Structure 1
Amino acid sequence: MPDRLSGKVAVVTGAAAGIGKGCARIFREEGAAVIGVDLAGADRACDLTDETQVSALFAAIVAEHGRIDVLVNAAAFAVFAWIEEMTLAEWRRTLTGELDTVFLPTRAAWAGLKASGAASVINFASANARHALDGSAALAHCAGKGGVLAMTRQLAMEGAPHGIRANSISPGFIRTEATGRHLAEVPDLRDRVLAKNMVKRLGEPEDIAWCATWLASDEARYVTGADIAVDGGATAW
């Protein structure tokens, strides 16, 4: 179905790489007016952990477009370390990178989302929000993504009276620049991931972006407060 997002104003954070880049590309192909946000390499540069920068960015977007129909919170960063090795600073940095980068853009976009009257917020939890992966030092990442899962349900409740839907996607292991480095650091990690998957391949950003496209479209107008696993079956057994 071409032009599934025709006429929609979509803001995609983390748009310079990985899942965010995949979402921004496919949204454009499906007809959306996309504003990509990242530290660099996107339409708009912004530190999404800086309250002042985020507020100014979204005020400018709403002033220019009048509304925001879709907000994709794909930006995130995390420190991977075992609990005995992780510092408090690294723990806090990860929770900032997983939670503040969802909270601050969503709060700043809220007035624009309300102005849409039929808006969609798409967050990214993770298979790691539901299970641990043997061999992956993902303690803080798991905590952050569990928080995104819970936050999304609350946003769905708060947004419903304003025509704002909020859902999350829980990706499995997706091949990106960041996970590529992780695979290189842990030689047997790929085998551990595939052993858990029903589908015996690693995911690609497009696998997630197509799910996000559906959630952004009017086809999903009755879907809110949901979490959709796109993980090759990893959490199904």
Structure 2
Amino acid sequence: MAGRLQDKVVLITGTGGGQGRAAALRFAREGAIVVGCDTQTAANEQTAALLHAEGLHLYGYAPVDLGDHEQAKAWIDSAVEEHGRINVLYNNASAARFGPVSELSIEDWHFTIRNEVDLLFYTTKYAWHHLAEQRGVIINISSTAGWGGSKVAGISAHAAAKGAVIAFTRQLAVEGAPVGIRAVSISPGFIATPGTAPFLENPVARAALLDGVLMDRPGEPEEVVAMALFLASDEASFITGSDIVVDGGLLAI
């Protein structure tokens, strides 16, 4: 039985762990040709090993710094050279620095914008015409931080960046519709990943982050990826320009 993404070439950024690793596994199980990348070579190789254990393959390479537009272009070009097309671009990778707005350094502000907005623009720019040829899909990972403030101090740069991702995605939908490209974003709430583990292990931080989450637990990467899989599939053919919130009810209050 063919998978939901059978033979589609799916580019996923940040496949070294967390949601990116979960996406690589789930999408490959659904028949996709998964091309990944990460800044961390060893972590990306671990993901490749997990796929290999299931008889699957992770294409692409690491390290790749997508905040460098030349490296982003090289990764996109290599995927097209090897596979001939791009059906889905899944912009998952990001990195942020945190601190109260009055204390956040200029360097940390620019680091966050570079690694949560710039890198997404670069991959999208260089993949655009290839996606148009396939009437493809762009999935951008935003955050509930792009929808509202948080009692957890120090997310000003992250909130600004993720708000930009949502707005950028809507514009991509407008520009993409005439050429057959769908563009959607997903805004996860607090998700349990290696990157959020220190917050989960701190009782005070955990309580603050789960305050208002109706399901009273962090989400799992697979729960976000399940939505991404649907949006990447032909089942979501009438969805574009939307931001889908996966937050355990956080924004319901």
TM-score by length of 1: 0.95
TM-align CA RMSD: 1.4
Q: Of 143, 149, 157, which residue of structure 2 is paired with 1:132? A: 149
2:100/2:155 contact within 8 Å kept: yes
Residue of structure 2 in register with 1:21 after alignment:
21
Partner of 2:122: 104
Query: Residue 217 of structure 2 aligns to which amino acid in structure 1?
Result: R
The answer for the alignment partner of 2:50 in structure 1 is none
Deviation of 1:31 after TM superposition, in Å, equals 0.9
Does structure 1 residue 44 correspond to structure 2 residue 29?
no
Distance 2:181 2:7 in 1: 17
Q: Which deviates further from its counterpart, 12-21 or 187-196?
A: 187-196
Matched to 2:184, the amino acid is N
SS of the aligned residue for 1:158 comes to: helix
**Residue from 188, 192, 199 that aligns with 1:175:** 192
Q: Aligned letter for 1:215?
A: L
Which runs of no fewer than 5 residues in structure 2 stay unpaired? 45-59
1:12 aligns with 2:12: yes
Gaps of 5+ in 1: none
Could you say which residue in structure 1 is the equivalent of 2:3? Answer: 3
Please say if residues 69 and 119 of structure 2, whose CA atoms lie closer than 8 Å, have aligned partners that are also in contact.
no
SS at 1:159's partner residue? helix
Q: CA deviation at 1:2?
A: 6.6
Aligned-pair CA distance for 1:115: 1.8
Aligned to 1:151: 168
Q: CA deviation at 1:86?
A: 0.6
Aligned to 2:210: 194
Tell me the alpha carbon deviations over residues 6-40 of structure 1, each in whole angstroms, 9 at most, x when there is no partner.
12110000111111111111101111110111112
Q: Is 1:122–2:122 an aligned residue pair?
A: no
Q: Is the 8 A contact 1:136 1:189 kept in 2?
A: no
The count of aligned residue pairs is 235
Letter in 2 for 1:180: A
Q: 1:212 aligns with which of 228, 235, 250?
A: 228
1:55-113 deviations in Å (ceiling 9; x for gaps): 12211211221211111000000001111221111101111111012101111111221
Three-state SS of the structure 2 residue aligned to 1:200 is: coil
Could you tell me the percent identity over the aligned residues?
43
Distance in 2 (alpha carbons) for counterparts of 1:194 and 1:181: 14
Retained in 2: the 8 A contact 1:126–1:172?
yes
